[in-house]
Amino acid sequence: MTLPNQTSYCERYGVHPGKSVDLSSINPADTGDFQNVKAATKALKKTRKQLRQLQDRFYAWHKKSLLIVLQAMDTAGKDGTIKHVMRGVNPQGVTVTSFKVPTPEELSHDYLWRIHKAVPGRGHIGIFNRSHYEDVLVVRVHNLVPPEVWGRRYEQINHFEQHLAENDVVILKFYLHISLEEQARRLQARLDNPDKRWKFSKGDLKERALWPDYMAAYTDALQKCSTEYAPWYIIPSDNKWYRNLVVAQIITETLQNINPQYPEPEEGLDGIQIV
């Protein structure tokens, strides 16, 4: 269900398979049909209520799982998206996995090994804070493996995601699209706030200097790995309130299309009185 007078968010922000992507032409400050935070916050509350109800049915239905992938440049709001979108859902049915620098054990396996282990089971929603796409993003930008190695991974990732989809995993992938200028403001805010300074690292500035290389890497990942069974969505993220609404709405639309149902109760329950 879309909000009044609005087209499907899935359609509006989805990357159509086979289509080219030009991130420089996509406005990260877009707020769609909303002019202010008040209206968007009201809409988000309604959407979260729908999401809670759908998640409850999805958990009980227990026939599919939902995998949500979040990728973004630093400060775009992966943590904030999880916090604000999933507020109020049953924590028993949601798992968040953050993928950091691979451990020695993980490095002794193929790069998808640690990812497959974290895929949610039926009835559950799994959220990846970063993901297997780090192996065509950070790995590519920092030349950690030769181009002929990371270049093969797009097809490998597509095959992996197709395998998951064919085994009842519904996949949604969100690229939180932030501008270079907004990132500067948020990094400065971290420095200026004593309670947030712990999140700042000098390494953030080195990564920021590689912005054009990251944009090229993201463009290839979005173009080559958005499929019917595992679509990418480019989410305008300069305005946190709109980012949260769009992500929540796309998840809700997806679950509505799945239309999970509560299981039928066992027979012979009518007339039972608990004493």
DSSP string, 177-194: E--HHHHHHHHHHHHH-T
- What is the model's pLDDT at position 3? 42
pTM for the model: 0.95
The answer to whether 99 touches 119, Cβ cutoff 8 Å, is no
- Calculate the CA 274 to chain-centre distance: 45
- What is the model's pLDDT at position 7? 64
pLDDT by position in tens, the chain (length 275): 344 445 699 999 999 999 999 999 999 999 999 989 999 999 999 999 999 999 999 999 999 999 999 999 999 999 999 999 999 999 999 999 999 999 999 999 999 999 999 999 999 999 999 999 999 999 999 999 999 999 999 999 999 999 999 999 999 999 999 999 999 999 999 999 999 999 898 999 999 999 999 999 999 999 999 999 999 999 999 999 999 999 999 999 999 999 999 999 888 888 899 98
Helices (H), 8-146: 9-13, 37-61, 78-85, 104-107, 113-117, 138-141
Catalogue all structural domains in the chain, each as residue range(s) with its CATH number. Answer: 9-257 (3.40.50.300)
Closest of 117, 119, 120, 100 to residue 109, by C-alpha: 117
Token reading at 234: 């480019």
- What is the model's pLDDT at position 224? 98
What three-state secondary structure class fits 216?
helix
Give the strands of the sheet with 94-98, arranged side by side.
94-98, 125-129, 65-72, 169-177, 232-236
* Cα atoms found within 13 Å of the Cα of residue 42, Cβ hemisphere only: 7
